[in-house]
Amino acid sequence: MSAPAAGHYTSTGLDSRKIAIWAFIGSECMLFVSLISTYLIYKGKSRVGPYPHEVWVSPSGEHFKAILNIPVTSASTFVLLMSSLAMVLALAAVQNKDLPKRTTGDRILGSSKLWLWMTAILGTTFLGFQAFEFTSFVHEGLTIRTNLFGSSFFTLTGFHGAHVTAGVLWLLTLLAIDYRRGLGPKDALNVDIAALYWHFVDVVWIAIFTLVYLIK
């Protein structure tokens, strides 16, 4: 088997892997917009509760409160935003690996392991928030089969959670490479591609947080 190529450059002068990740992100935009469209089309059309923003009393007289927990979701949104900051610092650390690190600040900012760990931990924390939310919804009587809101909500946020999980696994593979042989400027494009995926997952959540959680 031949040695891996140093670059995959096309006639445009751009690396084919970076073109591929942007094309993939473009296609992912369409996937998530289709899921968001489905959620918005079904919004307010559930015949039975629980509902996202309104109290519901069942025919048997059982009371269900508005099911969305905005404080918890706001916290998880903050965690995901900070994970994007950590990711971009991880990329900068890999790109600047060869630069001299004179101060403590330089050493902290230049540690790709630290920022990759931070990103993975924050991503896992976000998934923990989502697991807590899903579990509490099920305990409060909302499953994927309960009503149109439950079906579209769990599908949309579940797909997003699956993407975050894939992102965390990707970060862990980068960390494994970093521990094994160290990530340097020659690996910057690989980290950049992972970072683009991670930030895309973040921007999708920005849209979901507003459209699903905040707009009543």
Residues that bind another protein (CB under 8 A): 6-7, 9, 12-15, 18-19, 22-23, 25-27, 29-30, 32-34, 36-37, 40-41, 43, 70, 74, 77-78, 81-82, 84-85, 87-89, 91-92, 95-96, 99-106, 108-110, 185-186, 188-189, 192, 195-196, 199-200, 202-203, 206-207, 209-211, 214-216
Smallest gap from residue 43 Cβ to another protein (A): 7
| Buried/exposed code over 45-58 (b: 16+ C-beta within 10 A; e: otherwise) | ebeebbbbeeebee
* Pick 44 or 128: Cβ nearer another protein: 44
Widest Cα–Cα separation across the chain: 71
Quote the Cα angle for 67-72-74, to 5°: 110
Smallest gap from residue 85 Cβ to another protein (A): 4
CA end-to-end span of the chain, whole Å?
57
* Pick 40 or 48: Cβ nearer another protein: 40
Smallest gap from residue 121 Cβ to another protein (A): 16
Smallest gap from residue 86 Cβ to another protein (A): 10
* Pick 101 or 117: Cβ nearer another protein: 101
Phi, psi of 10 (to 5 degrees): -100, 180
Smallest gap from residue 103 Cβ to another protein (A): 5
**Where are any strands of DSSP class E within the chain?**
56-57, 63-64
Smallest gap from residue 57 Cβ to another protein (A): 22
* Pick 7 or 128: Cβ nearer another protein: 7
DSSP string of 53-112, one letter each residue: SS-EE-TT--EE-----HHHHHHHHHHHHHHHHHHHHHHHHHHTTTS---SHHHHHHT-H
* Pick 121 or 211: Cβ nearer another protein: 211
* Pick 41 or 176: Cβ nearer another protein: 41
Task: Fill in the DSSP letter of residue 185.
Answer: G
Task: Report the run of H or E that residue 126 belongs to, with start and end.
Answer: helix 112-139
Task: Report the run of H or E that residue 36 belongs to, with start and end.
Answer: helix 16-42
